[in-house]
Structure 1
Amino acid sequence: MPPRPINDPRTARLVAAYEALRPDTVPQLLALYDDEALFKDPFNEVRGQAAIGRIFTHMFQALDAPRFDVRVAVTEGDDAFLTWDFHFARRGQSERWTIRGASHLLYTPAGQVSVHRDYWDAAEELYAKLPLLGVLMRALQRRLGTPA
């Protein structure tokens, strides 16, 4: 299904920047964030463009061919909500991984991102796919899950 058009120019710029993200385009992405923006995901909580930039720089150092595909983008007032797929390979490995997640964004009056909060299930999307940890996670899911 093709993505729906994005009617909010702030969100359209941000989605375009994420979908075109490469090591050399990180500065263009960061320009869309307020100087003191808060960024939080399951592994990080940082404030400021420089700290956010370090997260993306590390991503490109640690992963092969990371890329984002935004599936849905909805904006209401100064709030935006995105759903996305993040595709990558672990450094030096050929197996491709996909993490599905969502982001809540809050814009400043000037149209920059002041808060960026990512939501995704690290247990399902990442830990369960790792060899040793995955066995433990699946066993825990079976033990805690509701019987069919």
Structure 2
Amino acid sequence: MPTLSADLRTTRLIEAYVGLRPEGLPALLELYDPAASFKDPFNEVRGRAAIERIFRQMFEDLREPRFIVLTAASEGDDAFLTWELHFRRQGRGEPMTIRGASHLRYAATGLLALHRDYWDAAEELYAKLPLLGALMRALRRRLSTPQQQ
């Protein structure tokens, strides 16, 4: 069961993400300030149009993307979420999950001014690719601290 102690602004945003479909993208973007910034491990953009391009690309690249928010907390104009993105890669049937967290900051207007996603691309994506994944697992074994028996 999710732990949610979010204010109304963040609750509206969570609802928009949990139910996000391509046709619902305009409603989601209305929750962002026109000059909002968005950053994740692959993108750093400013403005609704640029944020929209990221989500449109997500819908093109992924099959059945679905967000689940696990925790949410708001304090003043800042909010923090933990979430999972469930999807299937185009051309492949296996389900995948990315686990991450977001820092949100609201403008005085109540619209989202900053959206920063934190997730480990190496663990969540690269390690699941056949060739790159094998290399990453070998590196992780070599670099990890030996476990005591």
For 2:4 and 2:119, locate their aligned partners in 1 and report how far apart those are by CA, in whole Å: 24
1:6 CA displacement: 4.2
Letter in 2 for 1:114: A
Number of equivalenced pairs: 147
Map of 1:8 onto structure 2:
7
For 1:87 and 1:80, locate their aligned partners in 2 and report how far apart those are by CA, in whole Å: 22
User: Over residues 107-138 of structure 1, what are the superposed CA-to-partner deviations in whole Å (9 max), with x where a residue is unaligned?
Assistant: 01111110000000111111001000001101
Map of 2:96 onto structure 1:
97
1:87 CA displacement: 0.3
Map of 1:81 onto structure 2:
80
User: Over residues 48-100 of structure 1, what are the superposed CA-to-partner deviations in whole Å (9 max), with x where a residue is unaligned?
Assistant: 00000000000001110001000001000000000000000001211000000
Percent same amino acid among aligned pairs? 65
TM-score (norm 1): 0.97
Map of 2:46 onto structure 1:
47
Q: How well do the aligned residues superpose, as a CA RMSD in angstroms?
A: 0.8
1:68 and 2:67 correspond: yes
For 1:90 and 1:60, locate their aligned partners in 2 and report how far apart those are by CA, in whole Å: 10
Map of 2:29 onto structure 1:
30
1:4 CA displacement: 3.2
Q: 1:132 to 1:7 in 2, by over 3 A?
A: closer
Q: 1:7 to 1:121 in 2, by over 3 A?
A: closer
1:3 CA displacement: 1.9
For 1:5 and 1:63, locate their aligned partners in 2 and report how far apart those are by CA, in whole Å: 27
Alignment check: 8 A CA contact 2:4 2:73 kept: no
